Amino acid sequence: MYKMIRIFIFLLISFFLFFIWLGSDHQDTVSNRQTTATLSGKITDKESAQNCLDLVKKNLAAATEKNLEAYLATLSDKAQADTKKELSSIDSYDLEHELIAFKVLEQRPDSLFVEAFQRTNNQGTTHYQNHIAQIHYTFMIEAGEWKITDAIITNIEQID
- CB–CB of 115/92 below 8 Å? no
Q: In what order do the strands lie in the sheet with 111-122?
A: 39-41, 95-108, 111-122, 131-142, 145-158
- The pLDDT, as a whole number, for residue 2 is 52
- The pLDDT, as a whole number, for residue 60 is 94
**Where are the domains positioned within the chain?**
34-158
3-class secondary-structure state, position 45 = coil
Indicate the CATH number of 34-158 among 3.40.50.720, 3.10.450.50, 3.90.420.10, 3.30.360.10: 3.10.450.50
Q: How many residues does the chain have?
A: 160
Contacts of 132 (CB under 8 A, 6+ apart): 100, 117, 118, 119, 120, 156, 157, 159
Contacts of 133 (CB under 8 A, 6+ apart): 117, 118, 120, 153, 155, 156, 157
pLDDT, one tens digit for every residue, the chain (160 residues): 555 554 444 433 443 333 333 444 444 444 444 557 899 999 999 999 999 999 999 999 999 998 989 999 999 999 998 887 777 666 678 899 999 999 999 999 999 999 999 999 999 888 889 999 999 999 999 999 999 999 999 999 999 7
- The pLDDT, as a whole number, for residue 24 is 42
The pTM assigned to this predicted structure is 0.76
- CB–CB of 100/36 below 8 Å? yes
